[in-house]
Amino acid sequence: MRRIRSREVGVPMSVDGVVEPGPGSRTSAALLDELYDAVLDDTGTATVRRLVCESWERSLAAAIDPATPVAPQRFDPGESGDRLDAHPLHQIMPLLRANLVSIAEDAEHVVVVTDADGTVLWRDGATAVLGPAERVGLVEGSNWSEEAIGTNAMGTGLALHRPVQIHSTEHLARVVHAWTCVAAPVTDPDTGKIIGAIDITGPRRTLHPAMLALVTATAQLAENQMRMRLAIADERLRAHNQGHLAALRGTPGALVTPTGRIIAGDPFGSWPERVDLSAGTDRVRLADGREMHVEPLAEGYLLTATRRVASAPKRDHSLSLRFLGNGNPTVVLDGESHALTLRPAEILTALALHPEGLTAERLAFLLYGDDGNQTTVRGEIHRLRALIGTDVLMTRPYRLDAVVDTDFGTVRRALREGRLADALRACEGPLLPRSDAPEIRGARDELEVGLRRAVLDSDDVELVHAYATHRLGTDDLETHELLVDMLPAGDPRRAVAESRVVRLLAE
């Protein structure tokens, strides 16, 4: 590997104590070029900072030609909006615009955001410098990693995982010698991985020394904002799904975020920080050897200890629960239909969701929360057993001894298996819409949120249209706006969707 002479600290580049002259000197550009050539050609006594020296060596080892005329393109600039929308840094763009763009415009600089590979996702700044920046390839879709264009603040900062300033001829590529750039990487607090970089680039004599501190502080603010959003999402996941964990009744289990972080577990303290949940994983083995079953939830996963399950006894009764839709719950026992009031329907829902059984205390909590009364629950269980039979609703613990089929269970299975059209057809509406019981609210929200998110992420226009005309989606503005974008101009359904968007915006 080619070795470059380096020094620990100092001004951008020096020879025998001579530094770049200040603004207004007609010899500064020529002097910097001479210093640059002296280092690369190994003539004279010129040196560069150790950080730059090591970056040049990495870049030259990657076969970067200092005469490279422009940064290479990785994707068309027209794709940048979609790519930024799908990137984690999308959520902090308002912060970046508020903190950096006005400063960049006033100082005639360019603000840049890249992904973890150094590819530009977004840029903005002073009109006077956007054109010159474009001529060196500083546009959306261009790649500024060290492996693509050599030493620069974005690529070198990503390579070193630290804020960096690269001044003028410290860039390996001569085409960038008229510029100075400062950049700071951004780390995702969820995964701990670097997800991109924030950069300010400007003409080499105009970039203020404080810009590096500004970019570093902005990157830290971005990470703090992402950390705050992550904490809110974690709390929401715990609140919506703590009932699943509590229902394990002492069996080891944990709540896991979509990215594999464990945020709650029982027993406390016996869990790793995260687990690897590759696509399609239904089981995972922890470092201590425990094997856990992975159950998808609407917002994450539930880990439960796997255990051998004895063959289920033959059951003589069939019980069908029809609780989705208009709020008129019905139970069909051995082919005979019975209309139910709300409270018995809530009890049956809770028991169907927990086939292993529930104590009176646990059932009272699921139905009433902390104000639950076991005596009240026992009275309601007594009345329900009189309706459906003491050989169907068992005690100690309370459980259903029947072949149970539920409409909400059908939707949940179809969602887990990716059969979205089947899930949508089976879902006639909300689960017990008049119920305010904690367990029912959680199951209802999980079902509706999971179905909605799966449909909107499907890129299937027919499925989105079906959801838009479904009772769950008819008043959903985002659904109708997405449908307008997906339907071609000549499709008559587009005019209907556009009209619906107008009405929803007016409400």
The CA distance from 420 to 467, in Å, is: 10
What are the structural domains, with CATH classification, of the chain?
6-228 (3.30.450.40), 248-305 (no CATH), 459-507 (no CATH)
* Sign of the CA dihedral running 401, 406, 412, 415: positive
State phi, psi for 241 to the nearest 5 degrees: -125, 5
b/e string for 63-97 if b means 16 or more Cβ within 10 A? ebebebebbebbbeeeebeebbeebbbeebbebbe
The CA distance from 96 to 196, in Å, is: 13
What's the pLDDT at 24?
38
* The one-letter amino acid at 240: H
Q: Which long-range contacts (CB under 8 A, 24 or more apart) does 429-434 make?
A: 429/324, 429/325, 429/326, 429/471, 429/472, 430/324, 430/325, 430/472, 431/323, 431/324, 431/349, 432/323, 432/327, 432/329, 432/342, 432/345, 432/346, 432/349, 433/326, 433/327, 434/327, 434/342
What's the pLDDT at 38?
61
The CA distance from 160 to 34, in Å, is: 28
Nearest Cα to Cα of residue 261 among 290, 289, 227: 227
What's the pLDDT at 45?
54
What's the pLDDT at 43?
54
Residues in the chain where the model's pLDDT stays below 70: 1-47, 207, 279-280, 307-315
Peptide bond into 163 cis (omega under 30): no
What's the pLDDT at 309?
41
The CA distance from 424 to 414, in Å, is: 9
Q: Quick: pLDDT tens for 162-205.
A: 999 999 989 999 999 999 999 999 999 999 999 999 999 998 87
The CA distance from 115 to 120, in Å, is: 7
Contact residues for 18 (Cβ-Cβ < 8 A; gap 6+): 31
What's the pLDDT at 92?
84
Average pLDDT, rounded, for the chain: 85
Q: Quick: pLDDT tens for 67-100.
A: 988 999 998 888 888 888 889 898 888 888 887 8
* The one-letter amino acid at 394: M
> Where would I find the H helices in 174-258?
211-246
